[in-house]
A and B are shown apart, each in its own frame.
Chain A
Amino acid sequence: MKRKLRNKILHRIFIALCLIVALGPIYWMLNTSLKSEAEIYYKIPTLWPEHVTLDSYKYLLTGTNFLNGIKNSLIIAVFVSLFSIFVAYPAAYVLARLQFKGKRVFSKTILFMYLLPTSVLYIPLYIFVARLGLTNNIWGIMLIYPTFTLPYVAWILIPHIASISSTLEEAAYIDGCSKFQTMYRIIFPLALPGIISTTIFAFAMCWGEYLYALVNLISSEVQTFPLVLSGLIFGDMPPWNQLMAGAIMASVPILIIYMLASSSLVGGATAGGVKE
């Protein structure tokens, strides 16, 4: 009994430590966002603002293009993440379920495409988009982002789909389902937790993306929020409180999506199944 209690306490301490490590930076962001510029430079940093001020939030919301940037980021991230799932799911299904020549090469190519660094690709992709006349236009960036979200989503979905029992598919074929119907009516619902989580990650990748947006979105009307935030930096005195306020506000949509999706993730994982 004593040992059980001790283990319980140790577990709680471990969880508390993990939470401190995970939430520490977010707490410090919030703390800094509520400070005046002068307080940020105090000799001994204050753990909570001496004088809480919302000036940074006010400035971001009324004195900058931040809200417009959030709107642009939202449109781009929603479109690209949905498009990525739409295209990557069939690709992942084919690579997970079907046997054909060159399957391994296709799988590896998807991984390599994802591993190509942004710094190598941004100029060629800029040239590509410029030739299409789509620079300074969010359509241009929506054309670029799938180059990293598609391989990512496909690569994550392949093992997920592969882990679903093939017995269900066999049963569907016996009941008269075509391959297409099986893919969307049988496997898709079972793969939903994986699809939702990869969609969230694809969304997050687009949401905070900086370099492609930087070179392609020049006008303030089309810029995404990371560009609005980087535009606040002048020289060697960054307005840390405004930057942190922006980071806090930009975290909200992601948090909401995670919270909304979390029930589907659990529910989807336990729904359906077969008795073998």
Chain B
Amino acid sequence: MNMKKATAMIIAAATLTASVCTGFAAAPVKTTSEDKEITVWIEKVFSDDANAMMEARLQQYQEDTGITVHYEMVSATDFVTMLNAAIEAGSNIPDVVSMDTTKVLNYYPNIPAMDVSGLVNEINEERPYFEASYEGTKIGGVHYYVPYYSSSCMMFVRKDKLEEQGLGIPATWEEVFEAALAVSNPEEDFYGLGMGCGENDDDDENTFRQMIWNAGGYLLDADGAITCEDPAVVDTVDKWAELYKAGAVPEDAVTWDAGGNNGSYLAGRTAIVLNAPTLYNALQAEEYKELLENTVVVAPPVGADNGVYMNFNRGFSIMNACEDVDTASDLIKYLCEKAWYDEYMNGIAPVFAPLFEDELENPTWTEDAVNAEVLKYAQNASGYYGYPVSTIEGRSAAAKHYFTFPVVKAFNQVATGSASAQSALENMKYDLEDFTAMVQ
């Protein structure tokens, strides 16, 4: 081909592409008569219907108030990266975003969200929150986000397998361990307890922490002193390693990620797993009809010392960069309006539970057995990373430490025999010291 022609074609193609691109650039912003606008980033939830409901509600707010709402439904996996880029660049920061306690603490000491205690108190006066949500979402005595709903980690139990051994649904960790040993049959690839400890298993990281608390062990004390080498922690790690070695836990559990436990349950390999109610939704498929019939979903077991559950509350923050705090507050209150909120929560039950006391009388959350257990979880979820440390520095260090998944790492080392519980926890102590020093 003639070279001039070839070059001209390349330039023409590039120009054509460029001109087509302009048609796909971001849609122009519509302005309303009031000329006010607000940008909202909402973390998507598992249900398309629920996301559509949220979008419709935000559009409704625009229609009701004349304020332009620019909203984006962002997937949970992408949310933090996108938000961090905006914060770092100092531009395009949304006014209202989905937030939770761990996210806030990760930003400490440069928390990009405003103190919204006044707004939380206002909502709480109109419609009281559960104590666990109201108090449990305070950070250093301050609310950095308005609690909105709670995720949970429920216990899924194969009642048929336990009944075969004459066992009831376990209510304590001791009973869970006994049942796990009783129903396990490694020769048939069936195991009592589906708790994994792969290096990225954030799901069981939370469950192991809860197990440790319930036994009276803590990584930090209330003042922030490191206590991860206490006997209660050592004993809990050793106990699980014993179960693993006794064949009550699948051999491959030491390589699992967060999907390992639910995958094992759906595959019919395990009798007891602790997982978010997304597993319950998966069980609704026709193929799992029999498994669902043989499954009981209950709140997690309690321990010899207490029954603290991990708090997974999420809500909405107003960012420091927000220039119209009144509109942002008004929008959040609009999302909390009871009639719509109850309808929305009904749509996402049981994966997320509401946080208000009056829901204890709402038939959606009382008449359905699974929903009732999920609500019970939300009502009692007061644990957090670093629990019971009360200083913001200690909580921040613990939240940052969490992202290295240290507890599953320690359980893994002990189960695989690469370290004793003492030495694994000693290493954890050194890591915790580093994180504590980082936030001082």
Contacts and interface: CB of A to CB of B under 8 A. Distances in A.
Interface of A: 36-39, 41-43, 63, 71-72, 75-76, 78-79, 82-83, 85-86, 122-123, 126-127, 130-131, 135-139, 142, 184-185, 188-189, 211, 214-216, 218-222, 227, 230-238
A82 to B, nearest CB: 5
Contact of A86 (B10, B45, B269, B282): B10
Interface stretch (B70-78, B330-338, B399-407): B70-78
A43 B250 CA distance: 13
A215 B72 CA distance: 13
5 contacts: A126-B85, A130-B92, A184-B3, A184-B7, A188-B6
Nearest to B48: A63
Given A123-B88, A234-B45, A236-B262, A138 B24 contact: yes
B40 to A, nearest CB: 12
Given A72-B24, A86-B10, A130 B91 contact: yes
B24 A237 contact: no
A218 B83 CA distance: 10
Given A75-B20, A123-B88, A236-B278, A82 B10 contact: yes
Interface in B276-298: 276, 278-279, 281-282, 285-288
B91 A233 contact: no
Q: Which 8 A-B pairs have the closest CB atoms?
A: A38-B287, A215-B85, A41-B266, A234-B46, A231-B75, A236-B258, A43-B267, A130-B91
Residue among A138, A215, A231 with the highest chain B CB neighbour number at 10 A: A215
A207 to B, nearest CB: 14
Contacts of A214: 78, 81-82
B3 A71 contact: no
Contact of B25 (A43, A139, A236, A238): A139
B24 A71 contact: yes
Contacts of A38: 266, 282, 285-288
A53 B283 CA distance: 19
Contact of B14 (A82, A126, A136): A82
B76 to A, nearest CB: 6
B275 interface: yes
Given A37-B282, A137-B26, A238-B259, A83 B14 contact: yes
B434 interface: no
Given A38-B287, A41-B267, A43-B267, A237 B14 contact: no
Contact of B26 (A36, A63, A221, A235): A221
B37 to A, nearest CB: 15
For the residues of A in contact with B, the DSSP-based class is helix
Contacts of A85: 10
B339 interface: no
B268 interface: yes
A237 B81 contact: no
Nearest to B72: A218
B56 to A, nearest CB: 16
Interface residues of B, number: 58
Contacts of A126: 85, 88-89
Interface in B39-82: 41, 44-46, 48, 72-78, 81-82
Contacts of A42: 267
Interface of B: 3, 6-7, 10-11, 13-14, 17-18, 20-22, 24-27, 41, 44-46, 48, 72-78, 81-82, 84-86, 88-92, 189, 203, 258-259, 262-263, 266-269, 275-276, 278-279, 281-282, 285-288
A234 B279 CA distance: 12
A138 B279 CA distance: 38
B92 A136 contact: yes
Given A39-B287, A71-B24, A236 B88 contact: no
B267 A185 contact: no
A190 B294 CA distance: 70
B76 A234 contact: yes
Nearest to B267: A43
A75 B17 contact: yes
A138 B25 CA distance: 6
A78 B88 contact: no
B202 to A, nearest CB: 8
A138 B91 CA distance: 17
Contacts of A127: 88-91
Which one of B6, B24, B266 has the greatest number of beta carbons of chain A within 10 Å? B24
A238 B257 CA distance: 12
Contact of B78 (A72, A86, A131, A227): A227
A260 B92 CA distance: 42
A78 B19 CA distance: 13
B81 A43 contact: no
A219 to B, nearest CB: 6
Contacts of B24: 71-72, 75, 138, 221-222
A130 B41 CA distance: 18
A231 to B, nearest CB: 4
Nearest to A36: B287
B75 A86 contact: no
